[in-house]
Chain A
């Protein structure tokens, strides 16, 4: 079975995630001419399984054996003459997956969430190292004493006395309300 090269790239992804990726891409099946490499000939009509584009450029099974050929002949007549099994066989000739099969949930989300947390962790370590080795000393205005003097001056200036900062200070009793 010929596949897109993307399907070959395993990397750190799980097998299931790789299968999930290839399922959403185009697939080759029973294609008559032989590719030299793994490349897909994009100048030929392609097949795809996509939720948003239901009718691909070509059918899933291109090369029909004699049984399929006779079924295709029968399809040219009135469809009421077809049995249920024949209709399903015709569907399976034309399409690879049904919509429920396409929509089947996978385990890919675990890979995604796991990868996210791994990178969060690495980033956390980088940030911690940075805070220790890279940052310069804090400005003197961050110190406790300075902050206290700053707050006192803001209250003296009556900063936002109606609804904001100084509104929360009880000037009579010299404490926060």
Chain B
């Protein structure tokens, strides 16, 4: 029974040559997915919110709801 001699050297190099490009590509994909799935929508949500935001109106609504201690609701 004569089998072929197995590979004795370069095993780590072979593994790295295979896995490192894949790891790099997957990392880039993960970063891109997070950027376009999470951060860009979040920036857009904030931009949209503040486009129509009236701070005084919101303050008055909150005041009427009675959550502040320094300014009571108008009336009493």
- Which residues does A use to contact B, with CB under 8 Å? 153, 156-158, 161-163, 171
Contact = CB atoms under 8 A, between A and B. Distances in A.
Interface residues of B, number: 10
Nearest to B1: A84
Interface string B30-44: 000000000000100
B14 to A, nearest CB: 22
B46 interface: yes
Contact of B46 (A153, A156, A158, A162): A162
Interface in B31-73: 42, 45-46, 49, 58, 61-62, 65-67
If over half of B's interface residues share one DSSP class (helix, strand or loop), that class is named, otherwise mixed; here it is: helix
B42 A153 contact: no
A157 B62 contact: yes
A157 B67 CA distance: 7
A163 B42 contact: yes
11 contacts: A153-B67, A156-B65, A157-B62, A157-B67, A158-B62, A161-B49, A162-B46, A162-B49, A163-B42, A163-B45, A171-B61
B45 A156 contact: no
Interface of B: 42, 45-46, 49, 58, 61-62, 65-67
A155 to B, nearest CB: 8
A163 B44 CA distance: 11
Contacts of B62: 156-158
Contacts of B66: 156
Contacts of A153: 67
A126 to B, nearest CB: 42
A163 B38 CA distance: 12
Given A156-B62, A162-B49, A163-B46, 9 more contacts: A156-B65, A156-B66, A156-B67, A157-B62, A157-B67, A158-B58, A158-B62, A162-B45, A162-B46
Contacts of A171: 61
Contacts of A158: 58, 62
Contacts of A162: 45-46, 49
Contacts of A156: 62, 65-67
